[in-house]
Structure 1
Amino acid sequence: MTKFLLDSGDPDEYKQICSLAQKNNSEIWGATTNPSLIAKKLAGQKISSQKAFELQKQIVLEILNIVPGAVSAEVYADENTKAQDMVKQGLEIAKWHERIVVKLPTNLEGFKARTELRKAKIITNNTLVFSQEQIFAICLHERIIQKTFGPIDDLWPSFISPFVGRLDDIGLDGMTLITNAMKMKEKYGFNLWMLEASVRTLDHLRLGIEAKTELITAPGKVYAEWFSKSTNQQINKSTNQQMLKPIKYWEHPQELINIETIEGFMKAIESGKLNIKHELTDKGLVRFASDWKAIIQEEHKPLVTNLNI
Structure 2
Amino acid sequence: MWSPATSPSSTLSATVSVKESPRKESEPVELFIDSADVDEVRRAAALGVVSGVTTNPKLAAAAEAGSFRERVGDILACCRGPVSVEVLSESADEMLAEAAEYASWDARVVVKVPMSLESLEVIHKLERERDIRVNVTCMMASDQAALAMMAGASYASLFVGRIADMGYDADAVIGETAEFIERGQFQCRIIAGSMRQTADIRRSFLAGAHIVTTSFELLAQMAHHPRTMETIAEFKSAWDEARKRGELS
Same fold (TM over 0.5): yes
Q: CA deviation at 1:188?
A: 2.0
In the alignment, structure 1 residue 173 sits paired with structure 2 residue 195: no
Structure 1 counterpart of 2:142, from 132, 151, 157:
132
Structure 2 counterpart of 1:13, from 24, 40, 47:
40
Match of 2:156 in 1: 160
Partner amino acid for 1:129? Answer: M
Instruction: Show the 5 A alignment for 1:1-309.
Output: 1-19=28-46, 21-22=47-48, 27-42=49-64, 55-77=67-89, 81-118=90-127, 119-142=129-152, 158-229=154-225
1:167 aligned counterpart, secondary structure: helix
Q: Is the 8 A contact 2:172 2:207 kept in 1?
A: no
Q: CA deviation at 1:93?
A: 0.4
2:41 aligned counterpart, secondary structure: helix
Q: Is the 8 A contact 1:32 1:217 kept in 2?
A: yes
Q: Distance in 2 between matches of 1:209 and 1:138?
A: 20
Partner amino acid for 1:59? Answer: R
Q: CA deviation at 1:66?
A: 1.1
1:65 aligned counterpart, secondary structure: helix
**Deviation per residue, 1:76-131 (Å, 9 max, x gap):** 13xxx110000000001000000010000111221121122111000000000111
2:213 aligned counterpart, secondary structure: strand
Q: Which runs of 5+ in 1 are unaligned?
A: 46-51, 143-156, 233-309
Q: CA deviation at 1:56?
A: 2.1
Q: Is the 8 A contact 1:139 1:190 kept in 2?
A: yes
Q: Is the 8 A contact 1:195 1:215 kept in 2?
A: yes
Q: Distance in 1 between matches of 2:183 and 2:225?
A: 35
2:93 aligned counterpart, secondary structure: helix
Q: Distance in 1 between matches of 2:138 and 2:69?
A: 22
**Deviation per residue, 1:163-190 (Å, 9 max, x gap):** 0101111222222211111122112212
**Deviation per residue, 1:40-64 (Å, 9 max, x gap):** 014xx7xxxxxx7xx2211111111
Percent identity of the aligned residues?
28
Q: Distance in 2 between matches of 1:59 and 1:200?
A: 26
Q: CA deviation at 1:203?
A: 1.4
Q: Distance in 2 between matches of 1:11 and 1:224?
A: 17
Q: Is the 8 A contact 2:174 2:208 kept in 1?
A: no
Match of 2:232 in 1: none
Q: Which runs of 5+ in 2 are unaligned?
A: 1-27, 229-249
Partner amino acid for 1:190? Answer: F
Q: Distance in 2 between matches of 1:201 and 1:65?
A: 29
Q: CA deviation at 1:199?
A: 1.2
Partner amino acid for 1:16? Answer: R
Spell out structure 1 runs of 4+ moving beyond 4 A: none
Indicate the RMSD between aligned Cα atoms, in angstroms. Answer: 1.8
**Higher Cα radius of gyration:** 2
Distance 1:137 1:171, change over 3 A: same
Match of 1:147 in 2: none
* Aligned residue pair count: 199
**Deviation per residue, 1:126-172 (Å, 9 max, x gap):** 00011111111111222xxxxxxxxxxxxxx7111010101111222
Q: CA deviation at 1:17?
A: 2.2
Q: Is the 8 A contact 2:31 2:213 kept in 1?
A: yes
Greater displacement, 214-223 / 107-116:
107-116
Match of 2:7 in 1: none
